[in-house]
Amino acid sequence: MSIDAPEPTTQVSAADALRAKQIRQAEELTESAPGHGGFARALFRGEFHGASLFPYPTLSATDRAEVDKAVAAVRAFADARIDAAAIDREADIPRSVVHGLAELGVLGMTAPVEFGGRGFSQQGYCRIMEVIGGHCASTAVFVNAHHSIGIRALILFGTTEQKAKWLPALTSGDKLAAFALTEEQAGSDASNVQTTAVPSADGKKYILNGTKRYITNGAIADVLTVMARTPDPKGGDSKITAFLVTPDMPGFEVVEARMGKCGIRGTATAKLAFHDMPVPAANILGPVGKGLKVGLTVLDFGRTTFGASCTGLAKFCLDAAVRHAKERRQFGRPLADLELVRKKLAYLAAVAYAMEATTYETAALIDRGGEDYMLETAILKVFSTDALWQGVYETLQVYGGQGYFTDEPYERLMRDARINTIGEGANEVLLSFIALVGMRDVAEGLKATLEGLKKPSRFLPTFWSFASQHVKHMVKTPDVPVVTPMLRPAAQGLARRVSVFGRVVERVLITHRESVLDRQLILERIADAAIALTTSACTLARIDSALSLHAARDDERAAAELYLRMAGKRFDDALRGIHKNHDRETLEAARTVLRR
């Protein structure tokens, strides 16, 4: 979103300086989002790009056979060799598990075959991560850190020489990877990295200084992608650059190898430090000063596999809750006879179905080679992690006191699931990100329109363009291309909401202008509405495809229909809350607490 920073003056207040910095950071983050053609981005304009999601994506027969074989092998390995309870208890993933995953090709699943990988698509890899995520969260996070964000930057941005040097050992599991972004002042605020990298006089190396924390695989990795600030040769603000770093470089320190934590205890989460550490210039990953783009692109892949891992665990929770509800008797009848228990089972079924649909639609966007899927991955991450957190709660509640004790896995699942809403971008930050990135195109269009109306020579063309666009939104709803007749009412309802959404986004921007950057309660509602629309569209595409092929089970149809109603209510509540809310009282209560 293009927002003008305050004009420089001889005496700039601290508040103005902070405001200017926040605007620059917001622009840097939002401008890292490429393109204008993404499905979710179009929703903010009141458009529905049905061809992006319909028909629901499938693998080719050849790819499906290979993926099915790999999934079966990973599931058999997980059942026989991955003891999730022991990994949690011992706070360690055994080397035998790492070696076994390497032998199955999991550690290089999507890497090119010429570098030792298996060349799987993102959809195929998500199938693998769904299995691992449903079995052991620690192992899923370990794999995700190594593959989805650890070696992914090398695959996407590495030179041919860098790939040839590093990838074979990383895909085989002989070496492990990590991704080092988070610092004391930088986590979800990715643009606030403070670690520095200063070039030597001859330009052959960079000297790194700084610290990183909460780095999964940090102490066991052989190759780390490290984000650091490099000076601007033209004298402007420093920019973030990505570096390939190895622990044998002088000045590399593991401050803490395994930081104690609430859940995913099997992962080695480290604190690192770099003391005048020389890194060859040849180890720069991607262009100098473009590390933020490298990092955010890599996180897109990590968030997609987050969705897959959450899907696997959501399915596990659904199966476990259904089984217990049918077997456990209270008040002379099975728990499954009680409406409040059935409500929990229905919720689990609905969100698991929608989670799976949204995961594989997002993975397919990546596989098609497009660039504009940053909003979709953020939406998937927020939706799947929030829904899973609630789903684990509901599952433990179905089990009651039995689920609270450590001889059952549910208290561990609760501890493990908690990190999901924080890692790879805290959900609260991503809600603002979704809203701001989504609204950027609309904001720029409104700005251009207002500027055009000020110029006599541009008044009539600008006014005509603006008016025709508004008339189109008011009189015509977009087409949602379902082929199953029974789904047309749901498709029409979704289309109406998309049209309404476009008009509401414009009104919010006209009302609040640049101050919308600070109106996080409004941004949250805009993002909630976008999440509801996107997940509804993915769910609708999935059930439409299944029904058209006569492949939908009754429970799947019921789950999809329930989710569409749940998402519709989420959308309606979000937009209603923009005008009818108690935001003023909420913020005043917070102010009084902060003054205490």
Sort 333 into a burial class: Cβ within 10 Å, 0-12 / 13-18 / 19+: exposed
Closest CA to 143 of 11, 305, 13, 31: 305
What is d(CA 416, CA 261) in angstroms, rounded to the nearest whole number? 10
Q: 342 Cβ partners below 8 Å, 6+ apart?
A: 336
Tokens found for residue 332: 């002379």
- The helix or strand, by DSSP H or E, that contains position 32, with its residue range, turns out to be none
Work out whether the CA dihedral 214, 220, 225, 226 comes out positive or negative. positive
Bridge partners, 180 (sequence order):
226
Cβ(71)–Cβ(128) below 8 Å: yes
Helices and strands, counts by H and E, the chain:
20, 10
Phi/psi at 221 (5° precision): -75, 145
Q: Is 66 a catalytic residue?
A: no
What is d(CA 93, CA 81) in angstroms, rounded to the nearest whole number? 11
Determine the 3-state secondary structure of 323 from DSSP: helix
Cβ(436)–Cβ(41) below 8 Å: no
Tokens found for residue 550: 């006569």
Q: 576 Cβ partners below 8 Å, 6+ apart?
A: none
Centroid of chain to Cα 229:
24
Bridge partners, 271 (sequence order):
256
- Which residue is catalytic, options 361, 424, 506, 524? 424
Amino acid at 103: E
Cβ(23)–Cβ(16) below 8 Å: no
Closest CA to 166 of 257, 285, 293: 285
What is d(CA 241, CA 207) in angstroms, rounded to the nearest whole number? 13
Determine the 3-state secondary structure of 526 from DSSP: helix
Phi/psi at 71 (5° precision): -60, -45
What is d(CA 328, CA 400) in angstroms, rounded to the nearest whole number? 11
How many CB atoms are located within 10 Å of the residue 322 CB? 17
Cβ(344)–Cβ(394) below 8 Å: yes
Work out whether the CA dihedral 328, 333, 337, 338 comes out positive or negative. negative
Q: What residues are labeled active site?
A: 424
